[in-house]
Amino acid sequence: MTMINNSLLFVYYLAIAFLVNSADANSYSTLGHDDATPNGSNFTFVCDPERASDLVKQMTLSEKVLQLGNTNYGVRRLGLPTYEWWSEALHGVSNVGPGTFFDDLVPGSTSFPTVKPVQLHLMGHCGKLLARAGLTYWSPNINVVRDPHWGRAIETPGEDPFLGGKYAANYVRGLQDVEGTENSTDLNSRPLKVSSCCKHYAAYDVDNWKGVERYSFDARETVAEQDMVVTFLRPFEMCVKEGLDLDCGDYYTKYFQSSVQQGKIREADIDRSLKYLYVVLMRLGFFDGIPQYNSLGKKDVCSEENVELAREAAREGTVLLKNVGETLPLDSHNIKTLAVIRPHANATAAMIGNYAATQAAAKANVTVIVAGIDLSIEAESLDRDDLLLPGNQTQLINQVANAAKGPVVLVLFSAGGLDISFTKNNPRIGAILWVGYPGERVGPAIADVFSGKYNPGGRLPLTWHQASSVDSLGYPGRTYKFFNGSAVFPFGYGLSYTKFNYALKSAVKSKQIKLNKFQHCYSIKYGNDSHNPTCPSIRIDDMDCKDHKIEFEVEVQNTGSRDGSDVVIAYSKPPQGILATHIKQVIGFQRVFVPAGGSKKVRFVLNLCNSLHVVDYNAYTVLPSGGHTITIGEDIVSFPLDVNFSG
């Protein structure tokens, strides 16, 4: 608990320092360049299969096998150094994984809760990369958060497969692309800055929850093929199209040599895998160096541009959940004292200070309560027991709010959702902000939001469920796509200091699709009271989807007195009566800045198949005929879209 005079700044800094593991880097001679690469420092990076094949041909079987784990042990006699494939960059460069580590000053790295493509490009620059590790990252994690208890929600973009796929595509391009070569289709002229790997494939959304843990959980027994297609596979498909011959661990290195000798696998298969891996390392400049990235250090990571980018990411990731009577932004001219009360996340024994906290709140012009959870509550291998605030935080928040003389603002840290119904309904708490885990510039970012310098426009990437009812929900009914019950806050929720209205300006409201002789009507299940069309659907695999588009334009009107940005989210709803399918699904989103009193037009041109498909009981992806519905936001604007097939 702290008293701050004449200031709105709540400072919560994490410093960033990067060291990259380069063990054994100097114990090998450099692998000789071939005739095509006489000078590595001036080398034009190539994707050279022949060069990779030549390297693999020089290895013995035992040497090959030692290159198939996350640690490549190298071949000393060939001058081939060791390489560590395993580095993590889930929320900035991480010290989880042998490829990168931090010094003793920094226990963790920055996080980017809301990421734009420009921010993702920055992530590829972060860290001082040496030539023996830190070039390949097992990131991003794009598993869909189907269960709000999941500890690894901290690593993911949320509960929507479409959002996860878009996030993955931008993340991968941001990490891998070298500026100026990102649009080249010729791999000889398209090097990699670092190499990305989307994970985890697939049906992974539990770590360790009430006796069920991931190493023994058999998803084949509980996850239907239909659910795999609907929920899990799409983000990975989008990731692969944008962008493993490798095992995380030592299984391959231990057993593959004997497996070849026993005839279980072929040496040619190992050769093919190694060629792919070494082509990636060649594109990364592992053998030849990448001059512009060989000397990155603190001056690159901590540049003014990057520091400001971290601040921007923290601001854009802030979600305004409540703002009664324009509690925020604060008027600094009328504030002499501001009380900041920050209980420890797991604070059962730390709540002795309740009395001092209430005293401070009773004297301050404004009280800020900083609460939530941390990595001792939610993390890999640590799922949450429930969705409530831990310890005595609920008691502290209520006591401080009741004692406060002036407005009370609650700032929440978490990745997963929290059941904070008591704060939502407490009239003494004027405003609530959710900031996720926003990184080292959270202090200035929150100050910008408090003061009104920045108008928050973030949206929740997952549903915040009620703790009392979530455990009774089956699968896949815990995400917004299948859940239509009461929530603390729904997916996509977020307020602003201003008011936005939508108006539909234009839309194509019918699509007539002529079938050829190779396309056939496919039956899908309807309810007893529903009309079953003559041609219920067409399988997506039988269609040339690139020829069919949805087009509509929405005008976003800022009717308030402040400039602000709004996230325009478009959903589709399938025809009524189709059984066992989603209620709605995200098909597109755009963030637009609109000045006070102004308006901006937002145009969507979307793929018809991707936007209107459903997945049937047999896990076939189909395009249903009939009356679909397109909605903007929470049904603020909607229009019908009829799809008809003709022979």
Residues 6+ apart with CB under 8 A from 338: 3, 4, 5, 7, 8, 364, 365, 366, 367, 368
DSSP annotation of 153 reads G
Helix (H, G, I), strand (E, B) or coil at 522: strand
Taking phi over 0 as left and psi of -120 to 50 as alpha, with beta for the rest, 274 belongs to alpha
Q: What is the pLDDT of residue 214?
A: 59
CA distance 164 to 143: 8
Q: What is the pLDDT of residue 351?
A: 40
Q: What is the pLDDT of residue 496?
A: 98
Residues 6+ apart with CB under 8 A from 383: 147, 149, 150, 151, 206, 207, 208, 209
Helix (H, G, I), strand (E, B) or coil at 434: strand
Q: What is the pLDDT of residue 71?
A: 85
Closest alpha carbon to 508 in 401, 365, 395, 604: 604
Q: What is the pLDDT of residue 69?
A: 81
Neighbour count for residue 31 (Cβ, 10 Å):
17
CA distance 365 to 440: 27
Q: What is the pLDDT of residue 125?
A: 36
Closest alpha carbon to 372 in 352, 340, 343: 343
Q: What is the pLDDT of residue 100?
A: 41
Q: Which helix (H) or strand (E) holds 2?
A: strand 2-5
Q: What is the pLDDT of residue 117?
A: 34
Residue written as token pair 């959870």: 373
Residue 552 identity (one-letter amino acid): F
What predicted TM-score, i.e. pTM, was given to this entire model? 0.79
Closest alpha carbon to 571 in 637, 479, 478, 617: 637
- Phi, psi (deg, nearest 5) at residue 558: -95, 105
Residue pair 350/343 in contact (Cβ under 8 Å)? The answer is: yes
Q: What is the pLDDT of residue 201?
A: 66
Residue pair 155/216 in contact (Cβ under 8 Å)? The answer is: no
Q: What is the pLDDT of residue 114?
A: 36
CA distance 435 to 458: 9
CA distance 579 to 575: 10
- All domains of the chain in start order, with CATH: 47-302 (3.20.20.300), 318-470 (3.40.50.1700), 500-646 (2.60.40.10)
CA distance 277 to 87: 16
pLDDT along the chain (647 residues), means of 10: 36 25 35 41 55 92 90 90 78 49 32 34 33 64 84 86 83 78 70 76 62 63 69 62 53 82 86 85 77 68 85 93 97 91 56 72 96 90 91 94 97 95 96 93 94 96 93 79 93 97 97 92 87 90 90 98 96 95 95 97 96 91 96 94 93
Q: What is the pLDDT of residue 348?
A: 41
Q: What is the pLDDT of residue 93?
A: 55
